[in-house]
Amino acid sequence: MTHAMAKGANLTLQVTAVRAVLRWHPGPGSPDVDAAMLLVGTDGRVRSDADFIFYNQPRHPSGTVRKLPKQSGADGLTDAVEARLDRQEPSVDRLILSASCDSGTFAQVEDLRVLLYDAGANGEPFAYFDIVPETGKETALICGELYRRSGEWRFRALGQGYESGLVGLATDYGISVDEEPAPAPAVPQQAQPPQPVSVPAGPPPSAAYGYPHTFTLPPQGPQFIGR
């Protein structure tokens, strides 16, 4: 049986390993979506930058959380993270499932849904949660959290949005954002005679489908350093 969850609902998990899948329908001009997971302690903060699992850091050193490649199917695009609940270190109190989109907002993302699977078996999802942006301006979301309670693991559906993107999300969970220094003023140069404009033969090649080679944030452009 698949449980349809509403925002704020909780579900006790009967599995030892979870695959959390984000699924959406791509449309013309819609931004791409990336899933990520943060391992958080009882103080609500990550322990180090290694606790942030995303496309450029797809596996936790403990081996208990890993990012999976994106897939395209008849139901849309998916991006997923797997977590071994039974092997989490005692200092890990919660696993935060997040999503971010580049070059757009979640108002432009169609039919965003979280699906939870038993990672140790093939089959249908045991729960799902449809995420509806509240303001339409969100560029990052806390989709839900896996958390400990009375010796059990549970999932809470959240859908909390950030208009400040990954920067705001990271700050809330104790990740330090190191702003890039302002560029130095340009040195005045003598005027040069006009040069002919070089027109390329065609558009630049597009990047191959998949993950970028480096981790880049929204237009703010800082890099994450855990503390």
Domains in the chain, ordered, with CATH?
3-179+204-226 (2.60.60.30)
- Strand pairing category for 17-25 and 152-162: unpaired
Structure tokens at 194: 């006009």
Other Cβ atoms closer than 10 A to 75: 12
d(CA 68, CA 80): 5
Tell the burial category of 96 from Cβ atoms under 10 Å away from its Cβ (0-12, 13-18, 19+): buried
Say if CB 118 and CB 15 are below 8 A apart: yes
**pLDDT of the chain along its 227 residues, tens only?**
899 999 999 999 999 999 999 999 998 889 999 999 999 999 999 999 899 998 888 999 999 999 999 999 999 999 999 999 999 999 999 999 999 998 899 999 999 999 999 998 889 999 999 999 899 899 999 999 999 999 999 999 999 999 988 778 988 998 876 654 444 444 444 444 444 433 333 333 333 333 333 333 434 333 333 43
Residue with tokens 């080679």: 213
Q: Please state whether the predicted TM-score (pTM) of the whole model is above 0.85.
A: no
DSSP 166: H
